[in-house]
């Protein structure tokens, strides 16, 4: 399973990429806005710079269109895709979005269909030729639904067909989501920075290392 970082912060990408196992980054307009409350990060020049810096660090960077009509999405998406071959054009799961994804698919432009909350939406996006779909599990859990259950259902559907579309588990909230996604065979899981930072930690690892080093020191001449 590929692991992505869900952020618009280049320093965070650089830090986690330095661990040597980061496969990609997912951004969205809210994450971009969070990085610059004055609107600076969402200006076209700064957004492009941010995406390009991330493209130097990882092989897959989702950049979301903000147009809501297919023509606008296509215009923005073509521009993003021309920035760097690592860019994946993120498109919302709407009928306009499906039209845009179908266009991008025919042109060989990679897409990530976001805001997926049902298997029916997942099937439509895959049939339109999405490279990736992003079901938001945390937001389903937040309203009392079963987010990981949706991932299981989508992957069950995928077993019946030859969809090449990768299932990206998004809106994750804690490290257990990574394991549950991997057990189900999801292709990708994206994690916020604070959740990613928790993954390598275990108290027994820390205590074990402390004891190894103390024992080593105690016999050193």
Work out whether 6 is an interface residue with ligand G3P (CB under 6 A): yes
User: Do residues 150 and 117 touch, judged by C-beta distance below 8 A?
Assistant: yes
Residue with tokens 């965070």: 12
Closest distance to ligand G3P from the beta carbon of 6 (Å): 5
What part of residues 144-173 is at the interface with ligand G3P (CB under 6 A)? 170-171
Binder among 7, 28, 111, 165 for ligand G3P (CB under 6 A): 28
Among 36-44, 69-77, 133-141, 158-166, the segment contacting ligand G3P (CB under 6 A): 133-141
| Residue 31: both structure tokens together | 């994450």
Work out whether 26 is an interface residue with ligand G3P (CB under 6 A): yes
Determine the distance from the C-alpha atom of residue 213 to the mean position of all C-alpha atoms in its chain, rounded to a whole number.
38
User: Do residues 118 and 136 touch, judged by C-beta distance below 8 A?
Assistant: no
The catalytic residue among 78, 90, 220, 221 is 90
Question: CA-CA distance, 40 to 32, in Å (whole number)?
Answer: 9
Question: CA-CA distance, 98 to 106, in Å (whole number)?
Answer: 12
Question: CA-CA distance, 88 to 81, in Å (whole number)?
Answer: 7
Binder among 138, 152, 157, 187 for ligand G3P (CB under 6 A): 138
62 sits in which H/E element = strand 61-64
Work out whether 139 is an interface residue with ligand G3P (CB under 6 A): yes
Among 32-40, 100-108, 119-127, 131-139, the segment contacting ligand G3P (CB under 6 A): 131-139
Work out whether 131 is an interface residue with ligand G3P (CB under 6 A): no
Tell which residue, 208, 143, 157, has the closest CA to residue 185: 157
Work out whether 117 is an interface residue with ligand G3P (CB under 6 A): no
Residue with tokens 């970082």: 5
Q: Is 90 a residue of the active site?
A: yes
Residue whose beta carbon is closest to ligand G3P: 171
Closest distance to ligand G3P from the beta carbon of 89 (Å): 14
Tell which residue, 102, 112, 42, has the closest CA to residue 70: 102
State the residues that interact with ligand G3P by CB under 6 A: 6, 26, 28, 136, 138-139, 170-171, 190
For the annotated catalytic residues, the residue numbers are 90
């Amino acid at each position: 399973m590929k692991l992505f970082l869900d952020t618009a912060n280049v320093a965070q990408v650089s830090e986690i990429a330095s661990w040597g196992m980061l496969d990609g980054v997912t951004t969205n307009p809210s994450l971009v806005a969070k990085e610059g409350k004055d609107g600076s990060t969402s200006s076209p020049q700064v957004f492009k710079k941010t995406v390009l810096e991330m493209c130097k660090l990882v092989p897959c960077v989702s950049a979301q269109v903000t147009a809501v009509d297919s023509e606008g999405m296509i215009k923005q998406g073509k521009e993003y895709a021309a920035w760097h071959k690592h860019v994946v054009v993120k498109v919302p799961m709407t009928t306009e979005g499906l039209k845009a994804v179908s266009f991008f698919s025919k042109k060989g432009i990679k897409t990530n269909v976001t805001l997926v909350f049902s298997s029916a939406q997942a099937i439509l996006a895959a049939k339109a030729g999405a490279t990736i779909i992003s079901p938001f599990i945390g937001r389903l859990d937040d309203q009392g639904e079963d987010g990981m259950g949706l991932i299981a259902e989508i992957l069950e559907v995928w077993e019946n067909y030859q969809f090449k579309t990768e299932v990206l588990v998004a809106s994750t909230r804690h490290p257990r989501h990574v394991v549950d996604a991997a057990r189900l065979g999801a292709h990708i899981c994206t994690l916020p920075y604070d959740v990613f930072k928790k993954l390598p930690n275990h108290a027994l690892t820390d205590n074990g290392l402390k004891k190894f080093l103390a024992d080593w020191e105690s016999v050193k001449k």
